[in-house]
Structure formats: C-alpha cells, structure tokens
Amino acid sequence: MSPNRRYRLRWVDVFTQRALAGNPLAVVLEADGLSPARMQAIARETNLSETTFVLPATSAGNAARVRIFTPHVELPFAGHPTVGTGWVLLDEGIVAEDAGSFVLEEGVGPVPVRVDRSGPTQRLWMTHPPVKYGEVLDERRDIATALGLSTEHLARDVPIQVVTTGVPFLYVALTDARAVDAAVSSGEALTSVLDAHGLPPVFLFAAVGENRLYSRMFGPHSATRITEDPATGSASGPLGAFAVRYGLIARAAEVPIVSEQGTKMGRQSFVRIRLIYADLADDPNRIEVGGSVVPVMTAELAVTDDPDSTITS
C-alpha cells in the first residue's frame, strides 16, 4: 500500500461571530496532490454541507483555485465556502494579512473577495456573478403541500421562481417567520413536485423587519442531498435581488440586508447582503454577500494513494 500523504485541514464556522454556530466548513490546504475522486471521498468523510480544496491559481495575481464539494457532488460556486476559505487563506498568510481584496478561482470563474476591517470583527464579502431570473412555477398549492404548508402561508403577489447567480434555487416567499419554521424538508414530497423542473434546492423565507429576512434552505431532493443548510451564501445574493424585485425589501441605490438562517436547526447564522442599483435599475449591478468567520480546529489529514483505502485522519 502506498504511504500516507498528509494534508493540513482547517475547520471554521462561517456567517457567525461565535464558534459552534453558523455553517461549518472544512478547508484542505495544498490539495494539488489529490484527485477529484479523493476530494469527493474526503467531503463524504467530513460530512459537512461543503468541503473546499485549495489549489494553485491558474492566473497570475489570483490568490488560489478552490474546488468545492458536498458529500455527494462538486459545486461550481458556493457562498460559505468562498467566505470561509478566504478567511483561512488570510489566517494562514497565503493572502497578505493587510490585503484589501483578492480573487479566488471557482467553477463559475473568478470570484472577487473584499476584506472589511471597519468594524469590531473582520468581515469578508464575496461578489456574485450577475443575477438571472428563471422559470416561474404555477403549482403553488402543490409546492406549499410539499413543504407541509398551505397556500395561506405563501406571500401574496410574489411568484415562486428559480433565480441564480451561479447555482439555481427555487425561491418561496412566506408570510412570516412562523410559517418558515413550520415548513418540513421532505425529499420525497419535494421530488414529486419539482422533478419536472430540474429539482432545484428550495429557499424559503419571510420578511421580518426593515431590510431583514428569516430564511431556510432545503435540498434533500437536489443533487446536493442536503436536508437543510445552516447558511447558504450562493442563495443569499439572489435572495436579496428577488426580495427587492418583488417589493419585500425597499429599493434604493444601496440596499443592505441581513438574512438570518439556520436558527431552526440550532446553527444560527447571519448572512449579510449588499445590493447596488445604478439609477434604480430593475436588477442590481453589484451583489455582495458577506459575514464573519470563527476558527474551530486545525487537523492533519492522512490519505493514501490507494483508491480503495479510507481516510485515516
């Protein structure tokens, strides 16, 4: 059997200012010795919603190339992996500690990350690709039923629609936070109604105050197989644009939004969204999602080159 190679692993909690909250992330450093199959196996081993692998950048001036894996599939783009990996690169000195911004290479292309040190806690902001609005689903009763709700829980005059900035989500606006908490994540029920629409993960939310949203994300029926995600940065950028587009958040030249997510599952997260509108256009010309990161542990991963072997960290 081939000898073990050892990889440094950082474990952080993202979109929180306290450990053991937010969305946990494992970051494997100097991962260019790992095959995609090994990366997928490691992601199954951590069993987190996402694990990232840091590779050398392919373009001069970029900080790193980052591959993102759920336990079941690789993703082209994701929010808490981008913010969390960016924080680790700063903490490890791979990105200069005084850097104001840097670029990560992901499946969707270059993703700019901005470092905000203006407050008591350092916050990282990722820039989303442009927002795109997709299919509007007319099966409102069926979707409500699949979520364990009724049509009375659906926000009036707001469509149920697929929206994306790289990863498509189905957005379902509800009447209040109690309705959001009452929803049930059932892979069988959601598959039955969404199979004909490509099985997008479902992002349900309610407006709960001025520029504040209360959110959950269900994906047991999707390629990710994630029953519920504590904080979904890739969905939060489109969420902000969607909420403004349909009047749940007031439009302005600059719109700051806080989305609380993960509370129902005991991993309270606060995802910050910043939208910039040029001349109050219909769609934002800049979407940023940001948050804080807390370190939890550092580990060493020992992996053999044998494809049939297991991880022995």
Q: Environment class of residue 292 by beta-carbon count within 10 Å: exposed (0-12), middle (13-18) or buried (19+)?
A: buried
Question: Which residues constitute the domain of residue 258?
Answer: 132-290
Is 114 in the same domain as 212? no
Is 54 in the same domain as 22? yes
Distance CA 213, CA 182 (A): 16
Distance CA 74, CA 44 (A): 11
Domain CATH number, residue 117: 3.10.310.10
Q: Two tokens at 98?
A: 């005084």
Domain count, the chain: 2
In a domain, 242, yes or no: yes
Q: Which of 34, 33, 11, 32 is nearest to 80 (CA)?
A: 11
Q: Environment class of residue 123 by beta-carbon count within 10 Å: exposed (0-12), middle (13-18) or buried (19+)?
A: buried
Q: Which of 185, 194, 191 is nearest to 227 (CA)?
A: 185
Is 161 in the same domain as 246? yes
50 is catalytic: yes
Distance CA 235, CA 238 (A): 6
Is 91 in the same domain as 181? no
Report the run of H or E that residue 24 belongs to, with start and end: strand 23-28
Is 140 in the same domain as 269? yes
Digits of tens for pLDDT over the chain (313 positions)?
457 899 999 999 999 999 999 999 999 999 999 999 999 999 999 999 999 999 999 999 999 999 999 999 999 999 999 999 999 999 999 999 999 999 999 999 999 999 999 999 999 999 999 999 999 999 999 999 999 999 999 999 999 999 999 999 999 999 999 999 999 999 999 999 999 999 999 999 999 999 999 999 999 999 999 999 999 999 999 999 999 999 999 999 999 999 999 999 999 999 999 999 998 788 999 999 999 999 999 999 998 755 554 443 3
- Record the pTM: 0.94
> What pLDDT is stored for residue 304 in this prediction?
73
Q: Which of 50, 106, 260, 288 is catalytic?
A: 50
> What pLDDT is stored for residue 35 in this prediction?
94
CA distance between the termini of the chain: 17
